[in-house]
Structures are given as structure tokens and as C-alpha cells.
Amino acid sequence: MNIGKYQTFLKVVELGSLTRAAEALGMSQSGVSHTLNSLEAELGFALLVRGRAGVRLTAEGERVLPAMRSILNGFNQLGQIVSAIRGLDAGELRVGTFTSVAVHWLPGIIKTFQERHPHIDFKLLNGDYHDVEQWLQDGSIDVGFVALPVRVDCRTLPLKQDRLLAILPKDHPKAKLDRFPLSDIPGEDFISLLKNSDQDARRAMELAGVKPNIKFTTKDDYAIIAMVENGLGISIVPELLLQGHGEHLKALELFPSARRTIALAVPEFAGASPAVQAFVEHTRRWVEARAHES
């Protein structure tokens, strides 16, 4: 078993290109191609189909990909355990997150974590709730920030109850209200995230028995804020997302009120590497400290 060949294969799959994988790995393109050819020869079947548009997995490649990821995950965990036993603090931590945490929490969490663990490298993947759950399920990340409940099998640690707020243009007739009634949603042009990403707002409206008049749909949280600021409609977003973005719109608490629960998720905490366990505990303390400050 050659771990290096598996690492090269997974990097090609991740980047979708032999050229980009070669640059990321510090190898020549011919070196990457030779490594893949050698791996395919060992296995006895093709893993990738090469074309002008890049590469794609064969059916056989799709089948072996999860097992290869699992082997590399175990290899990385072994290295971190050995480092911890030797008194070294080294390894790579793969973290999946969504926009509001990536912007407003993660830089501070990583900065203070690296003050204690300066030799831990980070690989950060940013997407929506659906993306993070998929990464947890297929082993692409070691730990992920999620909104509860999750639809994958993992251990979760709740971190914060984050209010959901209605956001309106500043000159909207209802901008002077103290709270925005969810019952008024159907009468407004509504700007929504994609269905896979919009669990928070959709759940709040479903509980209130209202159906929005969706005029625009996007995957970008900050696009929603910009569209509201330009008078294209209203929306419902988490409070954390609005930090530093409330100047040109009006944010109102909902009636009835609604919240999301931000949590950390780990596929199997008991078997997690020392780096993962240290990151989980550090994040819990970091969020708790800021809750006391606010």
C-alpha cells in the first residue's frame, strides 16, 4: 500500500485537474500522471477518465474513493497520535463551515488555537449546511460547523443559540416596527437561499404556517443582504451573519421568535485525533467566553 499514490489520486479528484494537482503537490504533471498510471496498474482497473475539460471518476473510481479517504484519514490520525506521544504538536485539521461562522468566528478561533498549537495546519472548506453534512459523511473533513438538527450520523456539540431576524430595506413601511410578524411574510417579496441551504428560515415559516412569495433565490448569504439593501425584497437571516452589515438595512426580531442552534459535528469523537479533540474543546471555550462578554 502506497499512501503517496492515494494522496496524489485524492488531490486530482479534489481539484479535477492533473495540472492543478501537480501545482498543489509540488510535482510535475508527468509525475502525477505516472503516479496515477502506477496506481491503476496495481489495482487492475482505471480510476479516472482524462479529457480536455479535466478528469472524472470511473465507476470503479467512485467505488474505491471512500475507502481511500478512510485509509488516509486513519494515516493522518496515526501521525497526530504519534506526534502527541512524542510531545510534538503537529498535523493537519480539515474544517468545514458555512458563511457566517467562516467570517465572524473561524479567524478568531484559529488565531487563538494556533497560539497554543502553532504546528497544526488547517484546510478550510466553506459551503452551506448541505455541503458540510456531505463532507462529514464522505470523510472530506475532520470536524464541521453545522446547524442542528443534522441529517448525518455524527456526534454534535451545541455552541450557541443564534436568533433569526427579518431584514428589510431601511425605507420599508414596516421598518419602524419593534418586531416583524411572520404572518406578514406572504404579502412581501421574499429573497431566499437555495432549498438545501434555507433550513432556518423555512423551518421558522413552516412553524408559523406561512408560505413566502419567493421572488429571488441564491446560494450566497451576502447576496441576500445586498439585495435587501437595494430594495428588492425582504428576507430572514441569522443574527451572526449581520455583524458589520446592518448599516443600510433594518433588522427586526421575528414574532413569534425563532433561532438556530450552531454546533460542532465530528463523525466519531472517541476515535478523533488529538488535534480534533483539542480544536473542539478550544472552540467550545472560545464561543463560551464571547457569550459572557456580550
SS3 of the chain: CCHHHHHHHHHHHHHCCHHHHHHHHCCCHHHHHHHHHHHHHHHCCCCEEEECCEEEECHHHHHHHHHHHHHHHHHHHHHHHHHHHCCCCCEEEEEEEEHHHHHHCHHHHHHHHHHHCCCEEEEEEEECHHHHHHHHHHCCCCEEEEEECCCCCCEEEEEEEEEEEEEEECCCCCCCCCEEEHHHHHHCEEEEECCCCCHHHHHHHHHHCCCCEEEEEECCHHHHHHHHHCCCCEEEEEHHHHCCCCCCEEEEEEECCCEEEEEEEECCHHHCCHHHHHHHHHHHHHHHHHHHHC
86: cell is: 512524542
| pTM of this structure | 0.73
Place of cell 428576507: 235
CA angle 248, 161, 155 (to 5 degrees): 130
Instruction: Tell me if 99 sits within 8 A of 106, measured CB to CB.
Output: no
Instruction: Tell me if 16 sits within 8 A of 55, measured CB to CB.
Output: yes
Q: How far apart are CA 253 and CA 179, in angstroms?
A: 5
Q: What is the pLDDT of residue 89?
A: 66
The number of residues making up the chain comes to 294
Which segments in the chain show pLDDT lower than 50?
A: none
Rg (CA), the chain: 22
Domains in the chain, CATH or no CATH each: 1-64 (1.10.10.10), 159-261 (3.40.190.290)
Query: What residues form DSSP beta bridges with 96?
Result: 125, 144
Q: What is the pLDDT of residue 292?
A: 63
Q: How far apart are CA 255 and CA 275, in angstroms?
A: 42
pLDDT digits (tens, 9 = 90+) for 260-280: 999 999 987 656 778 888 899
Q: How far apart are CA 19 and CA 75, in angstroms?
A: 26
Buried b (16+ CB within 10 A) or exposed e, 185-221: beebebbbbeeebbbbbeebbeebeeebeeeeebbeb
Q: What is the pLDDT of residue 293?
A: 62
